[in-house]
Structure 1
Amino acid sequence: MIKADNLSYSFPQKELYNNISFSLEDDQHCAFIGTNGSGKSTLIDIIMNPERYMFDGKLEIDPNCRIGYVSQFSQLENKNDITVFEYIGQEFIKLQNEITSICAEMETSMDIEILLEKYQETLDAFNAIGGDDFESIINKKLNLANLMKHKDLKVSELSGGEFKLIQVIKEMLSHPDLIIMDEPDVFLDFENLNSLKNLINFHKGTLLIITHNRYLLNHCFNKILHLENMDLQEFDGSFIDYNFSLLQTKIELQELAIADSEEIERNAILINNLRNIATRNSEAARGKSLNARVKIQERLEARRIKEPFVDIKQPNIIFDMDNELEEIVALKVNNYSVSYDEILLENVNFEIKSTDKVALIGSNGTGKTTLLRTIFENDSDLIEINPDVKMAYLSQHQGETLNEANTILEEFFDAGFKTNGEIISYLSNYGFDEEIIVQKIGSLSGGEKNLLQLAKVSAMRANVLLLDEPTSHLDTYSQIALEKAVENYKGAILMISHDYYFISNCMDYVLIIDDKTLRKVSMKKFKRKIYANHFSKEYLELEQKKKSIETKIELALKNKDFKLAKSLSEELEELIKLL
């Protein structure tokens, strides 16, 4: 269906791909992964609009291939007066109306042959998308996504997550040869995430999906494309198997790389000795020996182990604070309510202590973001904030905290940094190279913008963090780095998230929005609720064990204990069989 050979492409300020090759075949469900800013969305756009790009190499796309697309950005505001059924069935309804119109025209027209031809073309198109049974087909998809109850609602009444699922259903029912989705999971709650998983797994056709969601990656795909450091690797199989293969490769190559480095170091000592001898002795043989050794060193350096899929940059996120608080109540909410067209939250009461790490969860559209923003703005008499508290805020709407017209450099001068060197040094911890800091923030990927937000939050050295979907758009490596930063942070955190792994790994307890108010729930009860309603307990417990072994392997590699790393790898392989 799609084949790329030695494809290369670069922006003026950044090279994205260097001779990458891959193929995509019928009925493959392919996950497209890679670190933030590696060029995944750009490659998707090249596939969809190749004539817009000046790239080197070959990109072959079946001329009959119809491509459907689901953007990472929902556009809900233009759909106010249409029901969910009408929105999904637009193509069906349009063709049905055309058939009715042609039939009516036939009753009075003298030029029946042209109308018959038009009628047949329209009928073929109608039948191609299952027209005779279109209502039943839509109902099946809505049931699969657990959205049947919304069939007759106006689209404008849906939450952002529900609308994203409706977009996916609509694309699937138009029966393109290939559907491309760019982070369709962003901001989905637990229920909607499971619905997306079902839609993907029951789809008969080819899918190419950019995602960093660990749950979807582990459950939905039979092919992986991994873009990293300008190179691309393709793997036929599940993400779990790919990840294990990557880890094994890392163990092998790191051991070889150390042997390489030792050989290069030994050769460098020999070259220095020969140079010292050559300065005292001008014999031609000595010069030949030196030249031979230098050539050997050049060959060693050229073949030194360099593996783009092993040497993956992980940002170094650290949350420090200027003023560590004793065990006090950092903020208190008293009888808080919020409503728009209807009441979202009513009589909400809770308090957070200075070292509490709390997840705020609830279905899409229940007022979580409004509550978090109100706490940060500190403009409600119903919210008490301790005078010693200094807050920092990360927004799911990145334009709230980042000026997209600024360059990265300008943004951090505005944040209080004094020199270029200070900004360059600081942002290198977050994976931003020196040449990228003169780019406009608006040109960055969603993940890069979130990393910039995290860098700004960290720079504030606050003792209370308000984080609204902090893992959204982040690649899996950045998510793990953020988990470490949260685990090590000594202050209080109130975080909106639908990332089960992140919540269970980092939070002390959960505040659940239930019937327009908040309930405090222990992690133990929260996990039981998740097991009962959303995810398999056995799977999630195995996943936790898997993460624990992977962490031990990383530590063994850090300590150059390859024997232990290989032994743990065998243990991990047995665990993966159970997954």
Structure 2
Amino acid sequence: MLIKTHKITKDYGGNRILEDISAQVNPGEKIGLVGKNGIGKTTLIKLMTEELSPDEGYIETRNNINIGYLPQQPEFSSDDTLYDKLKQVFENIHVLEKELIRLENKMAEETNSEKLDNIMNKYSKIRDEFESKGGYQVDRNIRSVLKGLGFGDEEFSKPLNNFSGGEKTRALLAKKLLQRPNILILDEPTNYLDLDGLSWLEDYLTNYQENFIIITHDRYFLENTVNVIWELSEQGLTVYKGNYSSYIEQKKLLEERQEKEYEKQQKYIKKTEEFIRRNIEGQKTKQAQSRRKQLEKMTLTAKPQKDSSMNLSIDTDQRSGDETLILEKVSKSIKEQRLFPPLSCKIFRGEKIGIIGPNGAGKTSLLKIIADYDKSTTGEVKYGSGVLLGYLDQEQELLTPEYTLIEELRTEEPFGREEYVRSILGRFYFSAEQMTEYVSNLSGGEQVRLKLAKLFMRKPNLLLLDEPTNHLDIMGREALEDALLNFEGTLIIVSHDRYFLDKVANKIIYLSREEVDVFGGNYSEYMEKAQKLKDIKKEREKEEQKKEAGKKTARKANSTSTKTKSNKEKELQVDELMEQIDKLEAKKQDLEASLSDPELYKDGEKAKATNEAYQETLNLLEEKYQKLESLA
């Protein structure tokens, strides 16, 4: 046991946040803490880290346990550069390094052999300690973590105070990872990471040897990193062994079992009460009295409480043309810095497109260009016939903070009856009391739901959504997924929620400063294709090296072939082999061009056959080069 909570209870301002919560962190556990927004996940973590004290119960922590905690909105400021601030994590190693330098200088100056031996012995011990603590890897470790979390070389020397809030959060995350505490506790660590950063952090935590607890709504992340799920709900804390999909399966079975147990007990109670009613004053009075006592002593099974799932929907009344949108050489530059190269593509009615790419690649800019909230640097956006556009921005700029929720919805339908407006707000899970509150008082998730309610009133047939799952808990994300899957119009989403993209998107647009790529399929299918292309590129580089080696061998063979008749025969064989190799190289290039074409992967059988032909060609080339080398 590393940390244990004993029946802890916590109240805030008269409201009970947590009640009778018991939990235990055991060695080797990598825990994902899940639950709907506002249920008390962060409060539980702050109690475990002793930032808060429980009103009832207590926390037990094993001696000498080092806890590293990354809050959701951390304070991390300094005049130091990013690199220097993280180097302070290794202060103990830095002290050893300075001592080694001091001793090196002393050795250079000392002339007394006995004293020199003493200095050298001390130097040897400190050097061994320096090496065992990873002193020679400090710079490499810092750079590796910073690059993994999306920082470029040019940012290493930038003062920490000059970074944005999201960048400071990533910097503090880097610090916590480098500290390698016994228990790492991360509250929503994925919020400011792009897809590359998410993948890197997943790999890092998969290989992390210590314990960690993560609060996140990122289901893909939970699937790949944790081996225990803590679910916090109104009924308390339930522990499930396994990753996210295992948790879903176990939870379903548990709910089914609880439902059966409850129904079985209710049938028994009803049957027993009927027996008591019929026999309490008859010949079986004693039996009836006995059964009444049994019921009074019975431990009642609580009625299973299922989460009240949302049922969002976005409808459209108007059908657009088949070609909903045409992008012709659209690109965007800011201060002469190009965000992404010219993009040309057609988007057809009913397509559900996910836009992905690293931070700063212009994903939000492209969405704003399509929504006509920004202008492209080059190219043109053409809308198809009958297009009615709806746009959900990431920054919540399209809401008016001083409006009430009713007033905000009336911006879509100024003369709509209040009863109708209230019914729409209720449909998106706003209570009657909330409807007269100001927009500025809403949480991030509530603001997303309010904007979705506005889109519902507008009934668009082209939806543009910029990070729509931000601030939504898992239940909200699932409800949004269902709404978008049932949406009959065209959808374009910017998102780093890979689980969401896998479920909703059927086409991917990848943006970066170097390239744009359009692929038919969901996120996982796109990543599989991207990995194949990387493998092909590596194989191509190896083949180029082999080809160059073969040419050198051929030149050597040609230079000596005129000496004897046998050499002349070899020269003929070499010429024949070189001709065969040239043909195979040409075939290889043609196959590589086919494998690089995204259209190929729309036909699975054709893609498989092309890949098999490519592998066969590589094998033949290797055989020919080996024969060529044997003739040298």
If the length of structure 2 is used for normalisation, what is the TM-score?
0.64
Aligned pair count reads: 498
Aligned residue type for 2:196: E
Q: Distance in 2 between matches of 1:383 and 1:30?
A: 46
Is it true that 1:347 corresponds to 2:342 in the alignment? yes
2:203 aligned residue: 198
* Aligned residue number for residue 313 of structure 2: 318
Change (3 A) 1:438 1:182: farther
Question: How far, CA to CA, are the matches of 1:70 and 1:45 in structure 2?
Answer: 11
Please state if 1:306 is matched with 2:311. no
Cα distance change on mapping 1:179 and 1:371 into 2, 3 Å: same
Separation in 2, partners of 1:241, 1:29: 14
What SS does the corresponding residue of 2:371 show, helix, strand or coil?
A: helix
Contact 1:355–1:491 (8 Å) recurs in 2: yes
2:509 corresponds to which residue? 511
SS in structure 1 opposite 2:193? coil
Shift of 1:221: 1.7
* Residue equivalent to 1:226: 231
Identity, in percent, stands at 24
SS of the residue corresponding to residue 314 of structure 1 reads: coil
- Residue equivalent to 2:24: 23
Conserved? CA contact 2:231–2:238, under 8 Å: yes
Any idea what the Cα deviations from partners look like across 1:62-95, whole Å, max 9, x if unmatched?
575543232445889x689835x33421333698
Residues 508 and 522, structure 2, Cα contact 8 Å, conserved in 1: no
Secondary structure (helix, strand or coil) at the match of 1:18 reads strand
**Pairing 1:140-179 to 2, within 5 Å after superposition:** 140=141, 142-143=143-144, 147=148, 152-155=153-156, 166-179=171-184
Gaps of 5+ in 1: 105-126, 278-282, 535-579
Q: Distance in 2 between matches of 1:146 and 1:198?
A: 14
What's the offset of the Cα at 1:357?
1.5
Structure 1 position 18, deviation (Å): 2.4
Residue 269 of structure 2 contacts residue 295 of structure 2 at CA under 8 Å; is this kept in 1?
no
Distance in 2 separating the partners of 1:174 and 1:204: 13
Give yes or no for contact 2:167–2:192 (8 Å, CA) kept in 1.
no
SS at match of 1:400: coil
Q: How far did residue 31 of structure 1 move?
A: 0.9
2:57 aligns with: 57
Answer whether contact 1:38 1:230 (CA < 8 A) is retained: no
Structure 1 residue 321: Cα displacement: 1.9
Aligned with 1:209 (options 207, 211, 214): 214
- 1:335 and 2:330 aligned: yes
Aligned-partner Cα distance in 2 for 1:373–1:299: 66
> How do 1:62-461 and structure 2 match up within 5 A?
65-72=65-72, 82-83=81-82, 85-92=83-90, 96=94, 133-134=134-135, 136-140=137-141, 142-143=143-144, 147=148, 152-155=153-156, 166-186=171-191, 188-259=193-264, 303=300, 305-308=302-305, 311-330=306-325, 332=327, 334-340=329-335, 342-380=337-375, 382-385=380-383, 388-397=386-395, 399-402=396-399, 411-412=408-409, 425-433=423-431, 446-461=444-459
Give per-residue Cα distances to partners, 1:521-549, cap 9 Å, x unaligned.
22189715436539xxxxxxxxxxxxxxx
Q: Which residue of 2 aligns with 1:533?
A: 531
Higher relative contact order (CA 8 A, sep 6+): 1
| TM-score normalised per structure 1 | 0.69
Which moved further from structure 2: 343-352 or 258-267? 258-267
Q: Given the superposition, is the C-alpha separation of residues 411 and 195 from structure 1 closer, same or farther in structure 2, using an over 3 Å criterion? A: same
Quick check: 1:20–1:232 contact (8 Å CA) kept in 2? yes
User: Tell me, which stretches of 5 or more residues in structure 2 are unaligned?
Assistant: 103-127, 533-632
Cα pair distance change 1:353/1:524, threshold 3 Å: closer
2:33 matches 1:32? yes
Displacement of 1:136: 0.6
Shift of 1:463: 1.6
- Provide the C-alpha distance between the structure 1 equivalents of 2:135 and 2:219, rounded to a whole number of angstroms: 34
Deviation at 1:207, TM superposition (A): 1.3
CA distance in 1, matches of 2:418, 2:229: 39
Q: In structure 2, do the counterparts of structure 1 residues 331 and 405 end up closer, same or farther at CA, with 3 Å as the change threshold? A: farther
**Farther off after superposition, 205-214 or 9-18:** 9-18
Q: What do the CA deviations read for 1:173-231 (whole angstroms, capped 9, x no partner)?
A: 22434322112123533332221112212223231110122222122223221101251
Which amino acid is the alignment partner of residue 70 of structure 2? V
**Counterpart selection for 1:463 from 461, 464, 474:** 461
- Higher Cα Rg: structure 1 or 2? 2
Whether the 8 Å CA contact 2:324–2:387 is kept in 1: the answer is no
Is this contact kept in 2: 1:8–1:56, CA < 8 A?
A: yes
SS of the residue corresponding to residue 367 of structure 2 reads: helix
Task: Give the secondary structure class of the aligned counterpart of 1:36.
Answer: coil
| C-alpha distance after superposition, 1:337-396 (max 9, x if no partner) | 232472112433334333221111112220101221233244537434457433222233
Equivalent AA in structure 1 for residue 219 of structure 2: R
1:491 maps to a residue whose letter is G
- Counterpart of 1:557 in structure 2 is none
**Take 1:425 and 1:298, find their aligned partners in 2: how far apart are those partners?**
44
1:8 corresponding residue in structure 2: 9
Residues in 2 aligned to 1:501 and 1:333: alpha-carbon distance in whole angstroms: 30
Which secondary structure does the structure 2 equivalent of 1:153 belong to?
helix
Relative distance call for 1:334 and 1:345 in structure 2 (3 A) is same
Residues 393, 304 of structure 1: alpha-carbon distance in 2 compared, 3 angstrom cutoff: farther
Q: Distance in 1 between matches of 2:298 and 2:426?
A: 26
AA partner of residue 81 (structure 2) = I
Q: Hey, what's the Cα distance between the residues in 2 that align with 1:14 and 1:409?
A: 27
Contact 2:320-2:384 at 8 Å conserved across structures? no
Q: Is the 8 A contact 1:81 1:154 kept in 2?
A: no
Residue 566 of structure 1 corresponds to which residue in structure 2?
none
Matches of 2:223 and 2:179 in 1, distance apart?
27
- Partners of 1:404 and 1:26 lie apart in 2 by 47
What is the root-mean-square deviation of aligned Cα atoms in Å?
A: 4.9
Separation in structure 1 between the aligned mates of residue 265 and residue 401 of structure 2, nearest angstrom: 45
Distance 2:294 2:24 in 1: 38
Contact 1:36–1:448 (CA under 8 A) maintained in structure 2: no
Question: CA shift at 1:98, angstroms?
Answer: 11
Structure 1 Cα separation of the partners of residues 51 and 17 of structure 2: 16
Distance 1:98 1:223, change over 3 A: same
Mapped partners of 1:297, 1:516: distance in 2: 76
Question: What residue identity is the alignment partner of 2:345?
Answer: F
Structure 1 residues 68, 144: CA separation in 2 closer, same or farther (over 3 Å shift)? closer
Per the TM alignment, residue 16 of structure 1 is displaced from its structure 2 partner at its CA by 2.7
